[in-house]
Chain A
Amino acid sequence: MSDVSVSNSLAVSRAGFTATPLKGGRRFALQGRKDTLEGAARAFGLSETPAMLKSAAAGDCTLLRLAPQELFIITGDAGLPEAVTTYLGTVPNSLVEVSERQIGWTLEGEKLRDTLAALSPLDMRERSFPVGMVTRTLFGKADGMVWRTDENTFHLEVWRSFGPYLSSMMDAAALDAAW
């Protein structure tokens, strides 16, 4: 990797595919039993916990249900709403901020699926991976999380040190996707 600042060097731009590094926001891993997650969802103003591998928006927060006992929460720079932290003070749970652990990209372009298909063994066709779906998976040799935010837009996050690797892999895959 070159010495240019991390966020610039991690951008990928090829015909039919762009990966734009995400900026700002915070991340929290909230884990707890069913009732706790339900209570938390209500504290966010939602009627229920998002179903497994589904997402829900609440204000400037997004709740991603990554595991039976886990909600991954992406918030604005202000962090979690007070109602949520207050509620969590009353029930058994694990809340760990991981804002620094992850880095991510917004992926777009008509070659998006072909590019992702070079990295992930998951079926990303609309019928198997509809808008709003989220999962952890492998991208090449990096663990990561992918979330479909729109028909042709994905949100992808990996652990920080895998950023340069994944950016290079996406670049190589996007080049191949043209053929």
Chain B
Amino acid sequence: MSLLSRASGRTLGRVPGRGRVNTRRPVRFTFDGRSFEGFEGDTLASALLANGVHLMGRSFKYHRPRGPISAGSDEPNAVVAVGSGPALQTPNLVATQVEVYDGLTAQSQNRFPCLQFDMGAVNNLASPLIPSGFYYKTFMWPRNFWTKVYEPIIRRSAGLGVAPTAPDPDHYAFQYTFCDVLVAGGGPAGLAAALTAAKAGAEVMLADETAEFGGSLLFDRASRIDGLPASEWVERTVAELKKLPNVRMFTRTTVFNYGPHNMVALNERLTDHLSAPNPATPRERLWQVRAKQVVIASGAIERPLVFEGNDRPGVMLASAAQTYLNRYGVACGRRAVIATADDSAYRVALDLLEAGVKIAAIVDIRPKPDSELFRKAKAAGITVLTNSTVQRAHGSQRIHSVELAPVLPGGDVGEGKNHRCDLLLMAGGWTPSLHLFSQSKGKVVYNAELDTYLPGESAQAERSTGSCRGLYDLGEVLADGLKAGVAAAKDAGFEGEVDLPLWEVTSDAIGRGGFTGALPRRGKGLTAMAFVDYQNDVTAKDVKLAVREGFRSIEHIKRYTTTGMATDQGKTSNLNALGIASSALGRPKQQIGLTTFRAPYTPVTFGAFSGHERGDLFDPDRRTPIDPWARSKGAVFEDVSLWRRARYFPQPGEDMDAAVARECLAVRKSVGIFDATTLGKIEVVGPDAAEFMNRMYVNGWTKLGVGKCRYGLMCRENGFVYDDGVVGRIAKDRFHVTTTTGGAAGVLNMMEDYLQTEWQDLNVWLTSTSEEWAVIAVQGPKAREVLAPLVDGLDISHATMPHMSVVEGTIGGIPMRLFRVSFSGELGFEVNVPPSRALEVWERIWEAGKPYDMTPYGTETMHVLRAEKGYIIVGQETDGTATPADAGCGWAVSKLKKDFVGKRSLALPAMQDPDRYQLVGLYTEAPQEVLEEGAQLVASPNEVIPMNKIGHVTSSYHSATLGRSIALAMVSGGRARMGQTLYVPMEDKVIPVTVTSPVFYDAEGARLNV
């Protein structure tokens, strides 16, 4: 009596005494609303299979019923959503990796209305009409149908799961770390490598993507190491590693990206397997590991065989069935047929037979398989058909029979015979997992003997070990792992002698085998669907079609057919696609090459990538010392680079326009107060400070007296405006430079760059003082009257302190640099004080300003005031292609200086072209019409479309001061067009405008000099 028949009852496929699941800890979970029982240690796939459920999903394009073909992260079919609710449902997980826990809810995807009856399956009937490239060929016309009709329909019907709609309530941790040796993969080779590297003294990190270390040893019942069953050896070795203080071990942790300079990313899943995780625990932790040496022990993946119906539920990889049996205690069927090109399948047959699964037949594509395992299988009475193939698997939602047929001399396939079965296993040989090696930029090399690609020369400090480099014999794998560990430790600087463990290994002798491409078949099979890439529904026919349509490169075939481009990264499909392309092209595989593997190795949640950088911590939220005051006055804020700045101060009932109009008038009539703290500031100090300024800025600085200020304009080497700001000369060898808020860091970097690379001879040094000084701007005709009583006896009269001057002093005993400057066109001061005292100073000025109806104003008003004066804002009027002259600042460019950054470029003929865009003002014909910033300008409204654009609006406001709208614009040959009428074509109308001077208010500057 077999184990299996005794197990019949509540869980169909569970085999007592087999597997590593904890049968004393049953868990209940639901799949598509149905309740099931599993055990602690099960994956969703193993638990469903134990309940006789193979159908777990619908395929991407044809909506074909699908079950799992694998038991690991290479699974293409069993893609499910886990969790429920708008925030907590995680789509696109593979059931072979999801660990069950009490209360887990999972749903199938890509089906409507349900998994068993899916309307989308009509695509399957229509499959001859929708081959590869169908979308490109069919949905071209009418053109506007693409975005509105075709694409939304295609996206809805062909697709994966539904993204959550509410914000993710989980949190995700992030950590950088360092180690001497990182071992990627905790199978036999990885365990051996970690052990010897650690014994050599190296700091070791060992990571495995599954819940347990051991890899293939967890489902290997045949091998003995030191006389121990493989799984017991794993326990012993893991325990030994855990005792070593220099080893950090991570399960449920995927090494998913191998970046430059041995920076390797790991994703550790901390709570997904728990029924009731502590809410404080991060869901996942992203590790960025800088490893001196990396040992890649990523193993090998079994290859499916390509034949008609190879995607029917119940068809799976032989190693998967073995894993379900030996690791999870689940028999995936009762009557199995095994199709193989490799000896390892015979061991699977023997394992299944021992557990009570009937083996209907083994069909071996090889003419004369001959190994000890082959003989054992024969001896066990199993029918073995050699030199035979699978013609077709029958069944829809579960396989029920398979036609096996002989391969005739010459390669044709003869008449076959149907064999009844509920499980069809595929063993196409092993594909070394090259993803991480390939990500590390190592070149893969074709190995003819193994008929696969193997790691070639390393590009980084890494080495591959074990079956990922084509070693399949357990003894060889372990020995290779030991060697890799020692070598990695040595290369990381740990040269000490290591006592290598001498492990006695007995395991199945393996022969050579494997098959790539499509199995031979009888007939052309024009309607046969033999899948190469299950997840993207790419068939053997599709690959051949791509070749027929002229694609030669594997990279092009991949993109045309989408083979290997699904979330499983072609783990099971790449080599078969290559085999098919190779025979269709009539060229050997090594001449076709392998496509590039891209990170991540398996999908990673967005949450893990963002870590804490979400919500308030997405970016630093920089605030000035005046921020609390502005908030208390009801300011509306805006982001300016990382700073939060007050935009305007609405009074009850006011909208922005009303508030800004009031603020503007207040500054022009009396006095306003404005927080200019965010301006960038750089202290340029040293005996060569003036010379440095002369070289950096277009202006001349030699003659600027101490205590005086000048508007400074800076170009890049290409002659285009980069930044501007007022510069004050504090001492002969000390300048207080201001920059734009957003440009502060860039200007300092550019200055340092020139200083460190071009002008190392200059004795001058730069210090950022942006946050050493808070800046309170007091602007308006009454500014002096407000400030004079506060500045501790400083004479700030026009005679002593004219426009564009600077003085050091105190304000109420607090150290101050006082600038007389103006960005409003009015008499103005900028009070620079230490930020820790700035609020105090602000409030004192505010008190002193009350008799003058002092008004706080924000950035919006600042913009309007400066536009009325025609002052540019770098990045608004300029766009990286404007010279100083274009921006109306040609006057600032020194004609006397021998050189400055950008001078050479400014001398180029193109820079003198009279048709260059130049800064002008615009008046609309209707004075209340406010143009849209960015609107285009044309010479005539009657031009045919596409019209000839001659400029664009850069700034546009309603000016309360002038009682009408104003705009600044960059216009081709603008300064020669004064008085001309131009046109702004809008969607619904054309707005005529008159070109005018960009200075709309107080052109002679009388208000500044009072």
Contacts and interface: CB of A to CB of B under 8 A. Distances in A.
B823 interface: no
Interface string B762-797: 011111111111000000000000000000000000
Contact of B619 (A70, A102, A141): A141
Nearest to B611: A118
B281 interface: yes
Contact of A165 (B620, B686, B769, B835): B620
Interface string B174-211: 11111000000000000000000000000000000000
Contacts, number: 115
B990 to A, nearest CB: 46
Nearest to B290: A123
A123 B178 contact: yes
Contact of A31 (B281, B623, B643, B767): B767
A161 B622 contact: yes
B354 interface: no
Interface string B283-294: 001001010000
B612 interface: yes
A101 B270 contact: no
A120 B176 contact: yes
A28 to B, nearest CB: 10
B178 A172 contact: no
A165 B623 CA distance: 10
Contacts of B628: 3
A33 B765 CA distance: 10
A6 to B, nearest CB: 9
A92 interface: yes
Contact of B620 (A102, A128, A162): A162
B724 interface: no
Interface string B830-842: 0000111000000
Nearest to A102: B771
B617 interface: yes
Contact of B177 (A100, A101, A117, A160): A117
Contacts of A131: none
A161 B623 contact: yes
Contacts of B799: none
Contact of B176 (A29, A121, A172): A121
A176 B290 CA distance: 20
B328 to A, nearest CB: 28
A175 B685 CA distance: 44
Nearest to A128: B178
Contacts of A159: 770-771
Nearest to B835: A100
B764 A169 contact: no
B613 interface: yes
A94 B767 contact: yes
Nearest to A120: B176
Contacts of B526: none
Interface in A1-56: 1, 3, 29, 31-33
Contact of A141 (B171, B175, B620): B620
A142 interface: yes
B624 interface: yes
A173 interface: yes
B612 A172 contact: yes
Contacts of B175: 114, 117-118, 176
Interface in A85-137: 92-102, 114, 117-118, 120-123, 125, 128
Contacts of B281: 179
Nearest to B612: A172
Interface string B259-299: 00000000000100000000011100100101000000000
Interface residues of A, number: 46
Contact of B763 (A33, A141, A165, A172): A33
B739 to A, nearest CB: 15
B288 A121 contact: yes
Most B Cβ at <10 Å: residue of A92, A165, A176:
A176
Contacts of A33: 763
B765 A162 contact: no
B621 interface: yes
B181 to A, nearest CB: 15
A53 to B, nearest CB: 17
Contacts of A99: 772, 834
Contact of A162 (B622, B772, B773, B836): B622
Contacts of A142: 620
Interface in B620-648: 620-624, 628, 643
B173 A164 contact: no
Given A98-B772, A118-B176, A179-B282, A140 B613 contact: yes
Contact of B617 (A69, A114, A123, A165): A165
B687 interface: yes
Contacts of B270: 179
A165 B270 CA distance: 26
Contact of B685 (A70, A94, A102): A94
Most B Cβ at <10 Å: residue of A3, A141, A161, A178:
A161
Contact of A98 (B619, B620, B763, B769): B769
A21 to B, nearest CB: 13
B767 A29 contact: yes
B42 interface: no
Nearest to A97: B772
Contacts of B763: 33, 92
Given A141-B620, A179-B282, A92 B686 contact: yes
B624 to A, nearest CB: 7
Interface string B686-728: 1100000000000000000000000000000000000000000
Contacts of A128: 178
Nearest to A98: B772
Contacts of A161: 620, 622-624, 643, 771
Given A101-B771, A118-B173, A118-B174, A31 B617 contact: no
B616 interface: yes
A92 B761 CA distance: 13
Contacts of A122: 176
A20 B288 CA distance: 28
A149 interface: no
A96 B769 contact: yes
B176 to A, nearest CB: 5
A126 to B, nearest CB: 12
Given A162-B622, A165-B621, A96 B767 contact: yes
A168 interface: yes
Most A Cβ at <10 Å: residue of B612, B620, B624, B763:
B620
A166 B617 CA distance: 9
B683 interface: yes
Contacts of A92: 686-687, 763
B768 A101 contact: yes
9 tightest Cβ-Cβ pairs between the two chains A and B: A94-B685, A31-B765, A94-B765, A176-B173, A165-B620, A161-B622, A96-B767, A100-B834, A92-B763
Interface of B: 171, 173-178, 270, 280-282, 285, 288, 290, 612-613, 616-617, 619-624, 628, 643, 683, 685-687, 763-773, 834-836
Interface of A: 1, 3, 29, 31-33, 69-70, 92-102, 114, 117-118, 120-123, 125, 128, 140-142, 159-162, 164-166, 168-169, 172-173, 175-176, 178-179
29 contacts: A31-B765, A31-B767, A32-B765, A93-B765, A94-B686, A95-B685, A99-B834, A100-B836, A101-B768, A101-B770, A117-B175, A121-B290, A122-B176, A125-B178, A140-B612, A140-B613, A141-B620, A142-B620, A160-B771, A165-B622, A166-B620, A168-B617, A169-B612, A172-B171, A176-B171, A176-B174, A176-B285, A179-B270, A179-B282
Given A176-B173, A176-B174, 7 more contacts: A32-B765, A96-B683, A99-B772, A125-B178, A128-B178, A168-B616, A176-B171
